[in-house]
Amino acid sequence: MNTEFGPKIIVEFSNGVFITETVINTWIIMAVLVVVSIILTRNMKLVPDGKQNVAEILVGVLTSLVGSSMGKDKLGFVPYMGTLMIFLVCANLWGLVGFRAPTADLNTTFALSILTFFMIHGNSIRRKGVGGWLKGTFFEPVAVMAPLNLISEVATPVSLAFRLFGNIVGGMIIMALVYNALGTILGGVLPIPIFELGIPAVLHAYFDVFAGVLQAFIFTMLTMVFVSMAMD
């Protein structure tokens, strides 16, 4: 059994800088998303048809989601939250195509959750000023609670990152174990992978499709809830 579950290093430069599978897969997903959005929004007409309908439905769904969970006054967050959700759904489903999901790497999930962390506090300072932010974040029920509030603020990005990472990497490892186990059933007798045909599909539907889409939704939803709570 292969006991290495970290991302493979693809290119390593002489000065020790290296590029992993995660970075390359992220760039492929970014390129796909950019090309798809350029194609969907070319030659836009007043009366939409075909591909423009798809783009309008997507934008409409994301706008109403952000509007209902953050409030109508924060619709300026639609581009970031929509991009975050579409990217995370694509990244989590990337494992289905046979590549390694970029979110199965702590670097990706921590980068996104640190963005969330700075968005929470930056927007809170922008909306309430430094004094209001200090009071609202640290001294909320009573001033004695400040150390506990500090810990809970720092725990937010950590728990966001570990939740996404743990779900995706756990599914990935369980799928690898299942494939290994199915491969050993017929091991040396028949070299044709019969058992790998149908059985893993059920598990892929749960670990990749259901858990992947749900975790992308949760990550975006929690980001929206935290940011709007910090601003109100």
Partner 1 sequence: MEAITGKALILACSAVGAGLAMIAGIGPGIGQGFAAGKGAEAVGKQPEAQGDIIKTMLLGAAVDETTGIYGLVVALILLFANPLVGML
For partner 1, the binding residues (CB under 8 A) are 3-6, 159, 162-163, 165-167, 169-170, 173, 214-215, 217-218, 221-222
Integer Cα distance of 59 and 75 in angstroms: 12
Q: Which of 133, 212 has the CB closer to partner 1? A: 212
Q: Which of 55, 101, 108, 102 is nearest to 82 (CA)?
A: 55
Q: Which of 119, 160 has the CB closer to partner 1? A: 160
The answer to whether 160 and 176 are in contact (CB under 8 A) is no
- For residue 10, which phi and psi values (nearest 5 degrees)? -90, -50
Q: Is 7 left (phi over 0), alpha (psi -120 to 50) or beta?
A: beta
Q: Which of 138, 162 has the CB closer to partner 1? A: 162
Q: Rounded to the nearest whole angstrom, what is the least distance from the CB of residue 53 to partner 1 in the complex? A: 23
Q: Rounded to the nearest whole angstrom, what is the least distance from the CB of residue 67 to partner 1 in the complex? A: 14
Q: Rounded to the nearest whole angstrom, what is the least distance from the CB of residue 231 to partner 1 in the complex? A: 20
The answer to whether 66 and 81 are in contact (CB under 8 A) is yes
- Which one-letter amino acid corresponds to residue 58? L
Q: Which of 134, 222 has the CB closer to partner 1? A: 222
Quote the tokens at residue 12: 């390593």
Q: Rounded to the nearest whole angstrom, what is the least distance from the CB of residue 110 to partner 1 in the complex? A: 13
Q: Quick one: 227 exposed, middle or buried, by C-beta within 10 A (0-12, 13-18, 19+)?
A: buried
Q: Which of 37, 69 has the CB closer to partner 1? A: 69
Q: Rounded to the nearest whole angstrom, what is the least distance from the CB of residue 1 to partner 1 in the complex? A: 10
